[in-house]
Amino acid sequence: MSTVLITDVTLRDGLQIVPRWVPTPDKLRIAQALPQCGVRKIELTSFTSPKAIPSLADADELASLTTRAPQVCYTALVPNLRGAQRALAARMNELNFVFSASEAHNQANLRMNITQSLVQLEQVLEAAGKTPVNVSLSTAFGCPFTGPVAPAHVIALMQQVQRMGASSISLCDTTGMGSPVEVERLTQAALSLYGEQGVTGHFHDTRGLALANAWAAYREGGRRFDAALAGLGGCPYAPGASGNASLEDLAHMFQISGVDTGLNLEALQPLAEEIAALTQEPIQSRLHKAGPAYALKVCQP
């Protein structure tokens, strides 16, 4: 049986666009519950400016309070050297450095051009030492401001950050503009550079293609994916952004296809309901609406 690793990004990408403040003790409860559901990698927070992402202003506190499960990798998003220094002080197992394949989105999201972000990456890699640095390449499948992003440009950026020393890459469909065909092409290229353990598919369900794109990546050899409870989240600096691939739906798709995720769906569903109640955001998961496949209904006489 094949195995995939699904990183839960609820507490970072899930919450960053939510206007309602979720108190730190509630975030902590979710962080502590995820390993009990079988989650083996958690994006805990983002070490960015509280002015930029107010919903994650408690990053340092949350990281200090979280009891680390020994079998779990705890990662955090960092946009620059200052963020990386905070993440290293918080004992993150991995740094997730973000920048965009699109100049327009990089300026909107990070207030830098791509060249400036690459300078920051060089500094982050030097500061990280032996701590792995993943690069999340946003708008890899299209930019909401300028439209399509040439695959050759994305591949050149992947090659460049690999030469610089990034240990892995995440291909991010920031606003759900990608198609399975495009996902296949870029996943092939990423796997040739980073190998099976070094490529993550990060898909948003803006146009209902998150699961189709994840399956396309899997068919090409991708074995790592990001998802959020209840399908929560989106980029606050991308017009039309909507939620991540639903963790419950993604796990269900793989499990009924004979792919092991290590996740407990029965335990995940109430956790998705809890985060939806905390944020007062709707649950986007189809599994929540319909239940698992083969969960038979009782016929009423």
Model pLDDT, residue 167: 97
For domain 5-290, say whether CATH 3.20.20.70 is its number: yes
What is the full per-residue pLDDT of the chain (301 aa) written as tens digits?
A: 799 999 999 999 999 999 999 999 999 999 999 999 999 999 999 999 999 999 999 999 999 999 999 999 999 999 999 999 999 999 999 999 999 999 999 999 999 999 999 999 999 999 999 999 999 999 999 999 999 999 999 999 999 999 999 999 999 999 999 999 999 999 999 999 999 999 999 999 999 999 999 999 999 999 999 999 999 997 776 766 678 999 999 999 999 999 999 999 999 999 999 999 999 999 999 999 889 987 655 555 5
- pTM, rounded to two decimals: 0.95
Over the Cα atoms of the chain, what is R_g? 18
Model pLDDT, residue 294: 77
Catalytic residues: 235
Model pLDDT, residue 191: 98
Residues 6+ apart with CB under 8 A from 65: 24, 28
Model pLDDT, residue 301: 53
Q: Domain coordinates of the chain in residue numbers?
A: 5-290
Residues 6+ apart with CB under 8 A from 244: 9, 13, 14, 202, 203, 204, 205, 210, 226, 227, 228, 231, 232, 233, 234
